[in-house]
Amino acid sequence: MPSRPGENTCDSTPWYAAMCDFIQGYCSERFGENWHVSPEYSLLLHAGASRLPQQVVVHSPLAKNGLLKLPGDCLATTDWGGFL
């Protein structure tokens, strides 16, 4: 993740700026096109929320109900989501 030289390593600003892109890249690499985020997360983004959620739920038929710890005390939860 890019950051400025001399930047405080505890500063979460770069992470929050890159979180959406990271989740998209991670899920696309792991699940291909077979995934989507929870509707709540999507609605927050479309409503222009400036604060990111502490947890992002990702649904995919390839998921195994796992947790991925992310910086900034965030979690990504993967869930099979009832796909058949």
Q: What is the pLDDT of residue 4?
A: 57
- Which residue do the tokens 């792991």 mark? 30
Domain boundaries, the chain: 13-79
Say how far apart CA 43 and CA 59 lie, in whole Å. 15
Looking at residue 84, what is its pLDDT?
Answer: 43
Residue 26: predicted pLDDT: 92
| pLDDT score recorded for residue 78 | 85
7-16: list long-range contacts, CB under 8 Å, 24+ apart: 12/71, 12/72, 15/70, 15/71, 15/72, 16/52, 16/72
- pLDDT tens for the chain, 84 residues: list them: 555 556 555 566 777 778 888 889 999 999 999 999 888 887 887 888 877 778 889 999 998 888 888 887 788 888 876 554
Contact 27, 35 (CB under 8 A): yes
Number of Cβ atoms within 10 Å of the Cβ of 2? 7
